Amino acid sequence: MAQRTHERTLKRLTRRPARPGDTSVRPKGRLLIVGGHEDKEDSKLILRRVVQLAGSGKLVVATVATSEPKQSWEQYEQIFRGLGAPHVFHLDVEKRTDARGSRAMRALSDATAVFFTGGDQLKITSLIGDTPTYSRIFEIFAGGGVIAGTSAGASVMSDTMLIGGGEDGSHRIHSALRLAAGFGFIKDVVIDQHFAERGRISRLLAVVSHNPRIIGIGIDEDTAIEVRPNRGFRVLGSGGVTVVDGRHVSYTNVAEEETSRTISLFGVTTHLLSQGDTYDFKTRQPDAHPAQRIDEEIGVDSREESDE
């Protein structure tokens, strides 16, 4: 009997893992990075966009981050099927051995989109980081597919991810910012989610003060950025996206003052973008566009929403 495709894929990726560090690979896909609590009841604009980007192919819901994978899977399966997704499958990884098995490869076979639910981002990276499952997800992205994630599923997209700390008022130098390695699907940025709702501007500024080369991106709830790597992103949803650019920082005291001191940061540039606006990674400049264009493209009648 001929060996099944997903088993051949597992053996191939075990022998030769696929990683973002391979300079010969230039990803053709997109990232849809969601700040959490996306609308699941009314227009469902962001989730509609996930379905659009998946097209007629397989949409895989990865519940790796959550402590309630069954409930999360059932919720998103119902929503995605209701929005017209023809093929919705579940990627359930509870331990690293699951991410090295043929069951995960079967779920990801022929997938055009993977959607990571919320929960704990460290669960995602620690359970599937540098496994055949991770390699297969990167292959989907590199080949032109979409990788989406909400909340914890958003934070893992960058090469460095925020996992906690620094949320209590003005940032002090001793405040423990907890950072860890992420997926590396988007370079030279740090992403924070639930941004305005949880008052996280202070900690994003602190991250940029530690290394002004990094662009800080804070995404509000029910808001997403649709990213084309090495190019830029556009904003979707009802909230805002805050961009913190440290390119022109003239001074910071993080390496000079006592650890109990409040942080100083001069010359930082901050942009606030809303639906339709775009941001160019190369020029580090935003550009304004009408929000209505997004509604029309995704098939949402904003006038009907405002009348309700």
Say which of 139, 194, 226, 238 is annotated catalytic: 194
* Whether 170 is catalytic: no
Q: Give the C-alpha separation, 123 to 152, whole Å.
A: 9
Q: Give the C-alpha separation, 275 to 45, whole Å.
A: 11
The answer to whether the beta carbons of residues 305 and 42 sit under 8 Å apart is yes
Phi-psi region of 60 (alpha: psi -120 to 50; beta: other; left: phi over 0): beta
The answer to whether the beta carbons of residues 288 and 258 sit under 8 Å apart is no
**What is the tens place of the pLDDT at every residue in 140-188?**
999 999 999 999 999 999 999 988 776 666 666 666 678 899 999 999 9
* Whether 38 is catalytic: no
Long-range contacts made by residues 263-267, C-beta under 8 angstroms, separation at least 24? Answer: 263/170, 263/171, 263/172, 263/173, 263/205, 263/206, 263/209, 265/205, 265/208, 265/209
**What is the tens place of the pLDDT at every residue in 62-107?**
999 999 999 999 999 999 999 999 999 999 999 999 999 999 999 9
Architecture of domain 10-15+28-281: 3-Layer(aba) Sandwich (3.40)
Rounded to whole angstroms, what are the CA distances from 144 to 55, 113, 228, 281?
A: 12, 9, 10, 20
Say which of 38, 139, 221, 226 is annotated catalytic: 221
Model confidence at 118: pLDDT above 60? yes
* Whether 271 is catalytic: no
Say which of 43, 135, 151, 238 is annotated catalytic: 151
Quote the pLDDT of residue 308: 45
Q: Give the C-alpha separation, 142 to 153, whole Å.
A: 18
**What is the tens place of the pLDDT at every residue in 254-278?**
888 667 788 899 999 999 999 999 9
Quote the pLDDT of residue 301: 78
Rounded to whole angstroms, what are the CA distances from 215 to 162, 190, 279?
A: 13, 6, 11
Read off the pTM.
Answer: 0.93
Quote the pLDDT of residue 307: 47
Lookup: tokens for 31: 């990232």
